[in-house]
């Protein structure tokens, strides 16, 4: 019997030190990781950082604060539930890092309840279950979300439910689920600005990297983002904004100045009661699934009711399976007598046929002053050959595409320049021709890492570089505008 006493003591001691869920006392205190450790929360020192060993709940009056250089690992299946405030406030080159103890055993993630406040800046969030945000107050700046999986953020890394969260200057890379989503039955008008997305929805189900629902009276803004697909993920689109339930909240959105490449499709606006301005986007090579009967549009509009009001101007749409498809009773204005379309189309097609615009509705579509075949001054007959409408099927509506504007340069109402960058593909330099007002040229890797930065002006002729063969993002910028182009180096 004596021989069994020591094992029994060890078992009891092991049980005694197991972590338990910790709830902050709701006294208005701001807690750091060191404070939590001192208060016997399941927060333990590990090297220069900390481990969170069990669930933590932040009460309504309390705050958890993570400071620059904080490094915190969460044990498998740990959840952080916030009724109060959670601030992860890193600094440039001194980020907060939030990760799992074991990358193969992710933590469950964060849940922000109604009334909570959440701010993430200069933070790296990886190997966890994402953020489930019931709260209206979410601000995310200069963060990286890497290799997160389905957890509390069941639909996306940032799984949003209400309000107008601001999501700006972040990177979302190789997450199992979409990067950002909101539900069909609640109004979310996020501001998604100047972020980089690559290879999200590694699960490869039929969801885009940005998957938004209804917006209510406020405006969903998706602006200045670069959204690059992993071409192995043949089911993953770029952007979707949908009102599939006919919700009276409807859709109000501006989608502008984005670069969307190598996804299953570029973007779609689906459902009724939808207003959208789709402007100055570059939409290229969204054809990964390769099945034109299932998708592959640069822009797709789809509605069962004639209550869409979509304006599409100044976009560059190239090498998708379809350029723009308009389906059901959806409608769009691609340019009229007052506002020129200024959209540019090139090589959008499938099965040997070019489809710049496919009007698969009985409605008349105005599409005046667009360039239907990039790089040449086309005739009306040539433009009509790449537009599918009543001339091809008498059950369909007409597309009004006269006059046409075609050439080798772009002019939009916001970017008054006549700019040509060539050659593309390039080898060791590119040349700039034409007047422009850009003062900075940058080249980024497909993962978003800056590889080249050059100050330019109207007198700049050549920009040399030393880059390995592959695909890059070339960005031109001035104080008010950023324009992205895909650059191929051979």
Break the chain into its structural domains and give their ranges: 223-414, 420-489
- Strand segments, DSSP code E, in 377-449 are 387-388, 399-400, 420-422, 429-433, 440-444
The 3-state DSSP class for residue 384 equals: helix
Do the beta carbons of residue 312 and residue 345 sit within 8 Å? no
Residues whose CB is less than 8 angstroms from the CB of residue 17 and which lie 6 or more positions away in sequence, other chains included: none
pLDDT tens digits along 376-425: 888 999 999 999 999 999 999 999 999 998 743 344 434 434 577 778 88
Above 50 in pLDDT, residue 449?
A: yes
pLDDT of residue 395: 97
- Note the maximum CA span of the chain: 100
Above 90 in pLDDT, residue 249?
A: no
pLDDT of residue 11: 39
Do the beta carbons of residue 317 and residue 279 sit within 8 Å? no
Above 90 in pLDDT, residue 134?
A: yes
Q: Which CATH architecture has domain 420-489?
A: Sandwich (2.60)
Confidence class for position 6, pLDDT limits 50, 70, 90? very low
Above 90 in pLDDT, residue 285?
A: yes
Q: Is the dihedral of CA 297, 300, 302, 306 positive or negative?
A: negative
Above 60 in pLDDT, residue 349?
A: yes
pLDDT of residue 476: 85
Above 70 in pLDDT, residue 14?
A: no
Confidence class for position 19, pLDDT limits 50, 70, 90? low
Above 50 in pLDDT, residue 469?
A: yes
Above 80 in pLDDT, residue 481?
A: no
- Strand segments, DSSP code E, in 199-343 are 210-212, 220-223, 226-228, 239-243, 251-256, 259-261, 267-271, 274-279, 282-284, 297-303, 308-313, 316-318, 322-328, 332-333
Do the beta carbons of residue 249 and residue 216 sit within 8 Å? yes
pLDDT of residue 100: 98
pLDDT tens digits along 38-54: 999 999 999 999 999 99
Above 50 in pLDDT, residue 460?
A: yes
Q: What percent of the chain has pLDDT over 70?
A: 93
- CA distance to 39, 75, 474, 476, per residue, from 453 (Å): 49, 41, 10, 10
pLDDT of residue 217: 86
pLDDT tens digits along 318-345: 999 999 999 999 999 999 999 999 999 9
pLDDT of residue 418: 59
Above 60 in pLDDT, residue 2?
A: no
Confidence class for position 447, pLDDT limits 50, 70, 90? low
Range with the poorest average pLDDT among 26-30, 229-233, 298-302, 484-488: 484-488
pLDDT of residue 92: 93
pLDDT of residue 408: 38
Taking the C-alpha atoms of residue 180 and residue 317, their distance in angstroms, rounded to an integer, is 24
pLDDT of residue 12: 37
Question: Average pLDDT, whole number, for the chain?
Answer: 90
Above 90 in pLDDT, residue 483?
A: no
pLDDT of residue 252: 95
Confidence class for position 435, pLDDT limits 50, 70, 90? low
Return the half-sphere exposure (C-beta side, CA atoms, 13 A cut-off) of residue 473. Answer: 27
Above 60 in pLDDT, residue 68?
A: yes
């Amino acid at each position: 019997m004596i021989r069994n006493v020591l094992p029994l003591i060890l078992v009891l001691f092991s049980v005694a030190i197991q972590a338990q869920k910790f709830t902050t006392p709701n006294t208005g205190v701001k807690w750091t990781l060191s404070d939590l450790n001192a208060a016997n929360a399941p927060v333990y020192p590990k090297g220069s950082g900390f481990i969170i060993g069990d669930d933590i709940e932040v009460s309504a009056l309390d705050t958890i604060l993570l400071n620059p250089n904080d490094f915190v690992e969460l044990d498998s299946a740990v959840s952080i539930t916030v009724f109060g405030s959670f601030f992860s406030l890193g600094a440039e080159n001194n980020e907060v890092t939030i990760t799992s103890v074991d990358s193969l055993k992710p933590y469950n993630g964060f849940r922000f309840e109604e009334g909570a406040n959440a701010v993430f800046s200069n933070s790296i969030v990886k190997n966890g279950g994402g953020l489930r945000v019931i709260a209206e107050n979410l601000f995310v700046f200069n963060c990286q979300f890497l290799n997160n999986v389905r957890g509390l953020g069941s639909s996306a890394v940032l799984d949003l439910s209400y309000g107008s969260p601001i999501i700006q200057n972040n990177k979302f890379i190789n997450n199992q689920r979409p990067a950002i989503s909101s539900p069909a039955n609640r109004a979310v008008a996020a501001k998604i600005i100047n972020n980089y997305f690559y290879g999200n929805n590694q699960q490869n189900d039929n969801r885009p990297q940005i998957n938004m629902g209804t917006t209510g009276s406020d405006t969903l803004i998706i602006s200045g983002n670069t959204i690059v697909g992993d071409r192995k993920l043949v089911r993953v689109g770029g952007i979707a904004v949908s009102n599939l339930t006919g919700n009276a909240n409807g859709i109000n959105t501006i989608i502008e100045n984005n670069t969307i490449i190598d996804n299953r499709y570029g973007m779609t606006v689906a459902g009724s009661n939808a207003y959208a301005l789709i402007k100055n986007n570059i939409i290229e090579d969204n054809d990964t699934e390769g099945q034109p009967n299932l998708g592959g549009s640069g822009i797709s509009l789809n509605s069962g009711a004639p209550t869409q009001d979509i304006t599409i101007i100044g976009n560059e749409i190239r090498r998708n399976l379809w350029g723009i498809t308009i389906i059901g009773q959806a409608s769009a204005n691609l340019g009229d007598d007052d506002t020129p379309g200024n959209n540019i189309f090139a090589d959008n097609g499938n099965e040997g046929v070019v489809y710049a615009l496919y009007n698969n509705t009985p409605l008349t579509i105005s599409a005046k002053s667009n360039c239907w075949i990039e790089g040449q001054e086309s005739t009306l007959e040539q433009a009509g050959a790449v537009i599918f409408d009543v001339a091809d099927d008498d059950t369909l509506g007409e597309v009004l595409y006269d006059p046409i504007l075609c050439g080798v340069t772009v002019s939009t109402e916001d970017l008054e320049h006549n700019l040509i960058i060539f050659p593309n593909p390039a080898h060791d330099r590119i040349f700039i021709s034409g007047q422009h007002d850009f003062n900075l040229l940058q080249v980024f890797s497909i993962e978003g890492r800056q590889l080249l930065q050059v100050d330019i002006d109207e007198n700049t002729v050549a920009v040399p570089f030393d880059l390995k063969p592959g695909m890059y993002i070339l960005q031109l910028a001035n104080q008010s505008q950023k324009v992205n182009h895909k650059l191929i180096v051979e």
